[in-house]
A = this chain, B = another copy of it.
Amino acid sequence: MENMFWIGILGALIALCFAYAQSRKVMSYSEGTPPMQKIAEAIRQGANAFLKRQYTSVLKFFIAMVIILALLAIAGLVSKFVPFAFLTGGCFSALAGFIGMKIATSANARTANAASESLNKGLRVAFSSGAVMGFTVVGLGLFDISLWFHLLKYVFRADSFTIGTTMVMFGMGASAMALFARVGGGIFTKAADVGADLVGKVEAGIPEDDHRNPAVIADNVGDNVGDVAGMGADLYESYVGAILATLALSTTAGYGWAGMFLPLAIAVVGVVSSVIGTFFIRTKEDADQKALLKTLRTGTYIAAILAAVIAAPLTYFIMSGKMGIYVAILCGLAAGCAIGYFTEYFTSETYKPTKKLADASETGPATVIIGGISLGLVSTSAPILIVSAAVLISFFAAGGAASFSQGLYGIAIAAVGMLSTLGITLATDAYGPVADNAGGIAQMADLDQKVRERTDALDSLGNTTAATGKGFAIGSAALTALALLVSYVDIASVKMTEAGKAVDLSLVNPTVLIGLFIGVMLVFVFSALTMSSVQSAAQSIVVEVRRQFREIAGIMEGKADPDYAACVDLCTRGALKEMVLPASLAVIVPIVAGLILGANGVVGLLCGTTVAGFAMAVFMSNSGGAWDNAKKFIESGYLNGKGSDEHKAAVIGDTIGDPFKDTSGPSLNILIKLVSTVSIVFASLIVKFSIL
C-alpha cells in the first residue's frame, strides 16, 4: 500500500484537467451583445479589484503568521515544515478561490447569452462554470496533500506517525485563508447589497440592478465573492481537513500506511465518480424547474452511488476486509444527502415551514421575525440528529467498542466519505450565483422576455441548490471539525504525557467545563460581531454612493460611468477592516484560553465551539433562507403579493436574514474548523506554558 500514494497525484490531475476542459467549454461561448459584454466586464473589473485588495491584506496576515510559526519552529514547538505548509495551504486555497471567481465572472454573461439559444445550453454553461470551481477545489486540495506526503516520505524519510501528525498542522493555512474569504466575502456582499438599495432604490429612486448605481457592480461582485469564493474556500478547508485528520489518526488506530492510503483512495474514487456524474446533467428544452432540479439531483446522486459502489471492494482490499470502515464511509455519504434534504425542507416555499412563515406576515413584521427565528431554531434538530447518528454508527461500526482509536478513525473517515463527491456537489452549489448573475445581466441588458424566463428558471433553481449547498457545507464542517478535534486530542495527549501533565478530558474537570463555556461564548460573540460588521460596512457604502451621485457630472443621465471600482474597493476595505476583530478572536481565544486552562481546557473549548457553532450556523442559515423564500413566495403572488403590507413585513424578515444566512452563519463553518487547526498548531506551546 505504501507506494500507492501517487494515485493522489493522479486524482488531482484528473480533477484539474476536467476543470480545465470545462473552463474551455465555458469560454467557447460568446458573451453576447455589447451591453452584456460591458456589464460583464464591469463585474470582472470589480472582482479583480476585490481580489487584489483582499490578497494584499491577507498577505500581511500571512507574513506575520509565517514569522510566528518560524519562531515556534526554531523553538522546537512546531515541526519545521509548518511555516511552509501554512503558506501552501493558504496559497492553494486562495488560488482555488481566484480560479472559481474568474470563471464565474466569465460565465455569467455567457450563460445569459446561451440561454437565448436554449435552456439546455444555458444550464450547461452555468453548470460547467460551477464544475470548474468544484473540480479545482478538489484537484488543488488533493495536489497539496499528495505533494507534502511525498516530500515527507521520500525526501525526509519520515515514518507514518510523524507524517500524519505533522500534516494535520497543515490545515491552518487553508483555514485562515477560508476565514478571510468567508467572513470578508460575507460582509462584502451584504454591505454592497444594503448600501446599493438604501441610496439607489430609496434615495435616488432608480430601479434595482440599474447600471447608473455605483454600488450595483459591487452588489454583483458580492454574489461571486460570498457564494463562489467563500463557499469554495470553506469546502477546500473541509476537504483537506477531513483527509488530514484521517491521516493523523491512522497510526494510533493501528492501520499505518493502509489507513492513510484509504482516505486518499476514496477521494480519488470520488473525483472519478463526480466526473461521470456531470455527464448526466442535461435537460429537455421544455423542462420546468422541477425537471431542472431533477437533473442536477440525478447527477449528484449517480456520483454518490457510484462512489459508494466502488468504495466497497476498495475498502475491502485496502483495509484487509474491515468492512465496518466501509459502513462509516457510507454513513458520511448518507448524512450529507440527508442534511441537504432537510435544509431544503425547512427553507423552500414548497414545504410547510416556509409557507407558514409567509402566513405570519399577515400580522406584521414582529410575527414574521419571531416565526423565522423559531423555524431556524427548530430546524437545528434534523442535522444535529443526523450528524449524531452518523458519528455514533461510524464509531461503533469501525470497531470503537473494542478499540477506541479505531472508532475515532471511523468518525474521520465518515467525514471523508461525505466530502468524497465534493467535485459535483460544489459544482451544483457554485452554479447558483452564476445563474443569479446571468438573470441580473439579462434584465440589465434588456434581453428578450423568453430569455429572461429561462434565466429566471435557472436562477430560481440556483436558490434551491445554494440552500442545500449551505446545509452540506455546515454538515461537512461539523464532521471535519470533529475529526480535527479527535486528532487534536491524539496529538495533545502525547505531548502532555511527555510533559508529565495529566490528560483529563472528563466533563467534571473544571478546566474542561470552563473551556466548554468559553467555546460557546466564542460562537455567540463571533456571530454578533460578524452581524454588526455588515451594518458598519454598509454605512460607508452609503456615504460613497451619495458622493458619486453628487460629484460625478452626468452620472444620472447615463453620460458618465460611475466609479464602480471605488465602491468595490470600499466594500473590500470595509469588509477587511470589520473582519479583523472576529478573525482575531478565532485565533486568539483558543490560544489564550489554552495558556490559562491548559490542553484539557482547549478540548472543552473545541467541543463547545463545534457543537454550539454547528447549531448556530444551521439556525442562522435556515432562518435566513426561509425568510428569503417566504418573501419570494409572497412576491410570486401569494397573499396580497408585491407591495402589500404582508410583503413589506416579509422584506424586513429578509433584510434581517441577509447577514444571518450570508455572513454569520457560513462564517461559523470556518470558525469551528479554524479553532481546531489553530489549537493543533499551538498544542506544544500550550502544553509547555499553560498555567493550569
Point out residues on A near B: beta carbons under 8 Å.
198, 360, 363-367, 369-371, 373-378, 380-381, 384-385, 387-388, 391-392, 395-396, 400, 404, 407-408, 411, 482, 485-486, 489, 505-508, 510-514, 516-518, 520-521, 524-525, 527-529, 531-532, 534-535, 603-604, 607-608, 611-612, 614-615, 619, 652, 655-656, 659
Contact = CB atoms under 8 A, between A and B. Distances in A.
Contact of A388 (B371, B396, B517, B528): B517
A520 B611 CA distance: 7
A10 B99 CA distance: 78
Contact of A370 (B506, B521, B659): B659
Contacts of A363: 198
Nearest to A607: B507
User: Of A367, A512, A520, which is in contact with the most chain B CB atoms at under 10 Å from its CB?
Assistant: A520
A615 B400 contact: no
Contacts of A198: 363
B525 A381 contact: yes
B392 A525 contact: no
B374 A619 contact: no
B505 A508 contact: yes
A505 B513 CA distance: 11
B369 A369 contact: yes
A385 to B, nearest CB: 7
B510 A507 contact: no
A631 B143 CA distance: 57
A243 B514 CA distance: 22
Contacts of A369: 369, 652, 656
B508 A506 contact: no
Given A505-B506, A510-B407, A521 B371 contact: no
19 contacts: A198-B363, A360-B535, A370-B531, A370-B535, A371-B532, A373-B656, A374-B531, A377-B524, A377-B528, A378-B525, A378-B529, A384-B518, A388-B518, A391-B513, A392-B511, A408-B508, A411-B510, A524-B619, A611-B612
Given A377-B524, A612-B615, 10 more contacts: A371-B535, A374-B529, A380-B521, A380-B524, A391-B514, A392-B511, A485-B508, A489-B507, A507-B604, A508-B603
Given A365-B652, A408-B508, A612-B612, A513 B607 contact: yes
Contacts of A528: 373-378
A489 B408 CA distance: 25
User: Of A385, A404, A612, which is in contact with the most chain B CB atoms at under 10 Å from its CB?
Assistant: A612
Give the copy number. Answer: 2
Nearest to A383: B521
Contacts of A518: 384, 388
A482 B508 CA distance: 9
A517 B611 contact: yes
A521 B381 contact: yes
User: Of A395, A408, A607, which is in contact with the most chain B CB atoms at under 10 Å from its CB?
Assistant: A607
Contacts of A534: 370
B370 A514 contact: no
User: Of A369, A384, A396, A506, which is in contact with the most chain B CB atoms at under 10 Å from its CB?
Assistant: A506
Nearest to A539: B363
Nearest to A597: B392
Given A385-B521, A527-B377, A507 B391 contact: no
Contacts of A511: 392
Nearest to A616: B524
A373 B529 CA distance: 11
B615 A531 contact: no
Contacts of A387: 517
Contacts of A364: 652
A590 to B, nearest CB: 15
A289 to B, nearest CB: 29
